[in-house]
Structure 1
């Protein structure tokens, strides 16, 4: 670690290996976050929650630096412009993150340049990812191509076993099952649970092409026509095997990156007072103590 830091301690938020991260940098990112479209949902700056938001942002910025340093050390093509809007803390958005079925880049350990651009366009922060890896790791994986490049290298030789994939399929049959769907005029497609009471009973007792009603219901009475019935179906394991293995590989990669990030943070990061991890029980705004 560098000891001859060319700045006053009050101007430093963190020291990451040889890299000094300044308070000015953190303030800039925080202004971007607070001027974004979700600004109204963020806590006020002069509250414990607001100060912990700043601490959380520092952890994300430190993780970005660590990932960038590792990507540079490995010679990975992972450069990208600074995001216009930093990631919001996990739990506030929940879009689905697509699976990354990578073949040749994973074998070589080095992502092709076009994959970097694709990753930047496709990756988003999800609550599920944050629960698997922790909010900081999930945020940096969602926003930093360098982090995703390092993640792929960490799991280049890791392949989910056939047993693990089959076990996942057996434990999650609901994901691969489409329940019976009835196309009902005037409602459109209807499944069990979409309707209640006598209306549902009548719809699912009728055959294809039959009319049910009039039936008393909200805004009724209703006369319903079952125009088409699509039977329940389940995707066979062979049809979803590749998807499952890709998803399991992605999850293991995220966990491997989180473990790597924890180790690197413990080994070469120094945080100054006011920039500790929000969960650090030693900081005055920590919300959980025993």
Structure 2
């Protein structure tokens, strides 16, 4: 049963303190504190900002956003889990009917994984993901972090992307616009340097190396530290992977990126529809919060 929120929105009827309300569930300040202690006792603790600094308070705010996203994902996984029909994008977005569990909202990522596993095939578990800078920049750090940690989030992402596979024209156009991704420049194996490409060395040494034939000895050539004698042992010509060889890889990448963007939009919409953050737990980028460090 959901614990009652006080009229001021500051706590439960039984005295708990709320950090966020997520639909019919709550995340308590105690749960946030517990997660923050785990984070600060982990292997990256030395890299984290001090708790009493603006950056430290914003780290806490960011953690609340992650916990909210985990809870939204867990709610959706629980709602979809018992259904026998396959998960489709048409079924996403309706509010969860799962009973509130405010004392476990901080463990929503684990709940989501368990719910997914117990769905009798309704939500196929997506493969493991890696949190990357590119992913965080593309979707925002919260969405990227939840996708990396939660199989249920990745299942939702896959469902949202279903039916929107990139067309052949889109795949081919990507290849044409990004030929450098599939090209390997000429590489010369030079003793004593090893493999060398243009731009990796400079001046007379580069000129001599790239003017030589395979097996030729060049020098002495004036360079850093004095004259150099070099042997061009092997030359690998520049090459480009043909479209046919990379077509499926491009298709998979574009489909994944489309799904990630769809997931981020879904998460934003659910957040706007069903989340209330209490003072002190705003998004770190919210310009209204006192520790916001990015203003125009």
For the aligned pair, the TM-score class normalised by the smaller chain equals 0.7 to 0.9
Report Cα offsets for 1:206-257 as digits up to 9, x if no partner: 0001001111222342211111100000011111010001000000000000
Whether 1:110 aligns to 2:116 is no
Offset of 1:204 from its aligned partner?
0.4
Residue 276 of structure 1 corresponds to 282
Pairwise CA distance, 1:182: 0.5
Greater displacement, 267-276 / 10-19? 10-19
The answer (yes or no) to whether the contact 1:109–1:156 under 8 Å persists in 2 is: no
Q: CA deviation at 1:38?
A: 2.1
CA distance in 1, matches of 2:203, 2:43: 42
Kindly indicate whether residue 143 of structure 2 is the aligned counterpart of residue 137 of structure 1.
yes
After TM superposition, give the deviation of residue 66 of structure 1 in Å: 0.5
TM-score normalised per structure 2: 0.81
Structure 2: unaligned runs, 5 residues or longer? 6-11, 88-107, 112-120
TM-score of the aligned structures, taking structure 1 as reference length: 0.82
**In the alignment, which of 144, 163, 167 is matched to residue 161 of structure 1?**
167
Matched, 1:236 2:242: yes
- Superposed, 1:1-290 pairs within 5 Å as 4-5=4-5, 6-7=12-13, 11-75=17-81, 81=110, 110-111=123-124, 115-116=125-126, 118-119=127-128, 123-290=129-296
- Cα distance, 1:187 vs structure 2: 1.3
For 1:9 and 1:275, how far apart are their aligned partners in 2?
A: 19
Task: Count residues with an aligned counterpart.
Answer: 256
Q: Which has the larger radius of gyration?
A: 2
Is residue 19–residue 281 contact of structure 2 (8 Å, CA) maintained in 1?
yes
In 2, the alpha carbon distance for the partners of 1:4 and 1:67 equals: 23
The structure-2 alpha-carbon separation of the partners of 1:211 and 1:8, relative to structure 1 and needing over 3 Å to count, comes to: farther
Distance in 1, matches of 2:290 and 2:62, equals 14
**Kindly tell me: are residues 15 and 166 of structure 1, through their superposed partners in 2, closer, same or farther at Cα, counting changes over 3 Å?**
same
How far off its partner does 1:289 sit? 3.1
Partners of 1:80 and 1:39 lie apart in 2 by: 21
- Please give the per-residue CA displacement for 1:47-88, whole angstroms capped at 9, x wherever unaligned: 1111111001100110011111111211189x9748xxxxxx
CA distance in 2 between counterparts of 1:276 and 1:132 reads 21
Of 214-223 and 47-56, more deviation after overlay is shown by: 214-223
User: What are the ranges of 5 or more consecutive residues in structure 1 without an aligned counterpart?
Assistant: 83-107
Q: CA deviation at 1:10?
A: 6.1
**For each residue in 1:16-57, what CA deviation from the matched residue of structure 2 results, as whole angstroms up to 9, or x when unmatched?**
112111111111111122222222222211111111110011
Moved over 6 A (4+): none
